[in-house]
Amino acid sequence: MEEEAALCNGFEALYLAAIDSDVTLITGVPGYPVTSLMELFLKTANPSIETAKSSTEIAKSLTETANSPTNIHSSTYKARWLTNEKVALEIALGASVSGKRALVLVKHVGMNLLSDPLITSVTHTIGAGLVIIAGDDPGVKGSQNEQDSRWYGRLAEVVVFDPVGPDAAYRSLRRAYELSEETHVPVIIRVTAGLEKSEEKVRRLPASSAVHPGFDRSIWGLRMVEKHQHFHFKVYPVLEYEAENTDLNEIKKGIKEIEADVQTQEHRGIENRGIENRGIENRGIENRGIENRGVESRGIENRGVESRGVKRIGIISSGFAASIVEDALNKSGCYPEVSHLVLSLVNPLPLQKIGNFLKNNRRVLVAEESEPFIEEQIRISGNVCGKKTGHLPYGQIMPNDIEFALEHIEEETAPVPLDSVHTESGKKDRATICEDCPYLPLYRILRIPDVQVAGDMGCSVRSAPEPLAAVDVSFALGSAISVACGFEKKGIAVIGDFALAHSGILGLLTAASEGYEVLVLVLQNEVAAMTGGQKVPDLRKVVEAIVPDVSFFDLDGEEGKEDSDWEKESKSITDQEIGKKIGKKIEKKIEKKIEKEGKKPAPVSELSDLIREKLALPGISVIFIKGRCRKY
């Protein structure tokens, strides 16, 4: 069957790979950067190549074979947003043991939530293929931290793919489902926003069979300790073999290295068998259109000779960082001797392949985002540099970082801490509260002397810096209530309705059953405002069943009306003016306008009085504060 070619970005490639892999269930929790990937699946309920044309730009570059009846890729699936990552994986596990392939989409912090069932599923075993796509955030553009999901591969002892580009992403997901079913364990694919932005042609493979394995109950014949032994003696060696032999891990040779190889082959009379040209002309090497660099080493042993004066410098990279490396080498043109080991399968680490690469290169730079995952495992060799030696910054990598590292490659430690530059530039990009946020008056009145305020990983976390300084701490999504329970005296927990549904409800149950003293302010805007406006379940009746003292407050007054004059005026307020104008002046304008329109009088002052009243009471109190998000 002839393959189809499509020009698409990395997330579109994953979309196509899921359809071609016969995935029937997609669950996801919204968050940067996976939200846009999930939206591709939500655009069509029963996608095929034809419906994909209307939902994405992918079909514009499909070849004519896409319309051939024998080559139609079709799939029927259910895709839905959920509010908790652990639940999302558990639903997918249920589909897997029923013989249905499943896909789970979460951001990197969501891996923390689903790690419990993930780690247990490895020795428990599953049925049909199950893949988790973890969206990492190098540079912390839309997250509370910059953790690296590849570490969960080592912790759970599962395969982790870290695709360099769209074609690798497509092939990684296709192979991930096969490997998951061969080994009966889930597989992780780590992606970043950089993958979504990269574009290249992707060769689609024939669609997967609709017959997939269910759960094999014979595993219950083993005791728990025997399951663990079985995994390490029977399953993990399969994963290690895959890492060493997959064509997703490849060496791209430098120009001088190719010249040395060609001369060696000519000397030995060996015919050239498929070495790709990275910019060398008239040497009988096939030119496959890759500029200057990008040569694949397809099974030919790296035999570059130092006697010919080739400096043995190598780079090991994974994921989108590999594209950054290639761009930097292509643009500079100053490092023709550098060979590049690109890893798209990073756990288990292909130690034999890497060992050979280290032996053949005098100095090796490891370029990866966000943490030194690969570097930590191989730096004992002594000729490795990267983040740990200061040659590269932690987190996101830029082309100038690669150039800096190569300039100082001969030094044991780099002379300048590069991340200080990134930190200063990042301060200008700090996200702030929207200027027309209905909760701005609330954040102003939260500054109560001697009262600690726990925020959450919703919009409220943006009120922590000056000039608002409304919340004191904010640790994780859904954590506000539990954190406030630990305060020395009764404090305030500010939590969004999405965070409450995510995991905050557990903190509320604990507070109510154990008799903690806390005032909970639930910001009820009915959407996940930070991640795309996804709908949030209404938990008011649930909360009323848990807590006797529940109040409701509507900041907007009547629903369904256009923005009032004061709301329109607030849109012109700059971030610098918020701290000055959000006080008495704005509150008086709000009160006058609301009285004129016949809505509930003086909401800001009444809300302030209500908060102080509830703080004075013993036990737990909850106030639902309704405010319409102006973005959605």
**More confident of the two residues 519 and 447:** 519
Cα angle, residue 20 at apex, residues 19 and 21 outer, rounded to 5°: 90
User: What average pLDDT does the segment 308-314 reach?
Assistant: 66
Rounded distance, CA 120 to CA 322, Å? 32
Question: 3-state SS string over 498-545?
Answer: HHHHHHHHHHHHHHHHHCCCEEEEEEECCEECCCCCEECCCCHHHHHH
User: What average pLDDT does the segment 565-590 reach?
Assistant: 41
For residue 382, give both structure tokens. Answer: 């002594």
pLDDT of residue 584: 42
User: What average pLDDT does the segment 247-252 reach?
Assistant: 94
φ, ψ of residue 370 to 5 degrees: the values are -105, -35
Rounded distance, CA 151 to CA 470, Å? 35
Those residues with Cβ within 8 angstroms of residue 121's Cβ, 6 or more apart along the chain or in another chain:
93, 130, 185, 186
pLDDT of residue 429: 58
Instruction: Confirm if 200 and 14 have CB atoms less than 8 A apart.
Output: no
pLDDT of residue 588: 44
User: What average pLDDT does the segment 223-233 reach?
Assistant: 96
φ, ψ of residue 206 to 5 degrees: the values are -55, 145
User: What average pLDDT does the segment 203-219 reach?
Assistant: 93
- pLDDT at residue 368 is higher than 70: yes
pLDDT of residue 576: 42
Residue range 124-137, pLDDT digits in tens: 999 999 999 999 99
The closest alpha carbon to 524, from 556, 492, 549, 546, belongs to: 556
- pLDDT at residue 590 is higher than 70: no
- DSSP letter, residue 232: I
φ, ψ of residue 193 to 5 degrees: the values are -65, -30
pLDDT of residue 68: 36
User: What average pLDDT does the segment 177-187 reach?
Assistant: 98
- pLDDT at residue 411 is higher than 60: yes
The pLDDT confidence band at residue 585, using thresholds 50, 70 and 90, is very low
Cα angle, residue 332 at apex, residues 331 and 333 outer, rounded to 5°: 95
User: Where is average pLDDT lowest: 90-94, 102-106, 602-606, 628-632?
Assistant: 602-606
User: What average pLDDT does the segment 33-51 reach?
Assistant: 74
**More confident of the two residues 434 and 46:** 434
- pLDDT at residue 264 is higher than 80: no
pLDDT of residue 263: 52
The pLDDT confidence band at residue 546, using thresholds 50, 70 and 90, is very high
User: What average pLDDT does the segment 427-441 reach?
Assistant: 77
**More confident of the two residues 630 and 150:** 150
Amino acid (1-letter code) at residue 139: G
State which H helix or E strand residue 376 sits in.
Answer: helix 373-378
User: Where is average pLDDT lowest: 132-146, 150-164, 313-327?
Assistant: 132-146
- Residue 614 CB-density burial (10 A; 0-12 exposed, 13-18 middle, 19+ buried): buried
- pLDDT at residue 609 is higher than 60: yes
For residue 61, give both structure tokens. Answer: 């570059």
- pLDDT at residue 222 is higher than 80: yes
Q: How many helices and strands, by DSSP H and E, does the chain display? A: 25, 21
The 10 Å CB-count burial string (b at 16+, else e) for 543-576 is beebbeebeebbbbbeeeeeebeebeebeebeee
Instruction: Confirm if 222 and 123 have CB atoms less than 8 A apart.
Output: no
User: Where is average pLDDT lowest: 108-117, 366-375, 463-472?
Assistant: 463-472
For residue 152, give both structure tokens. Answer: 């969960």
Express as a percent the part of the chain with pLDDT over 90: 64
Those residues with Cβ within 8 angstroms of residue 84's Cβ, 6 or more apart along the chain or in another chain:
29, 113, 501, 502, 503
Domain architecture of the chain: domains with CATH: 6-66+74-206+214-220 (3.40.50.970), 312-417 (3.40.50.920), 439-558+602-626 (3.40.50.970)
C-alpha 309 chain-centroid distance: 43
pLDDT of residue 57: 43
C-alpha 590 chain-centroid distance: 40
Express as a percent the part of the chain with pLDDT over 70: 75
**More confident of the two residues 530 and 86:** 86
Judging by DSSP bridges, how do beta strands 101-107 and 23-28 pair with one another? parallel
CA distances from 385 to 315, 374, 394 (A): 10, 11, 13
Provide the mean pLDDT of the chain.
82
User: Where is average pLDDT lowest: 12-26, 463-477, 539-553?
Assistant: 463-477
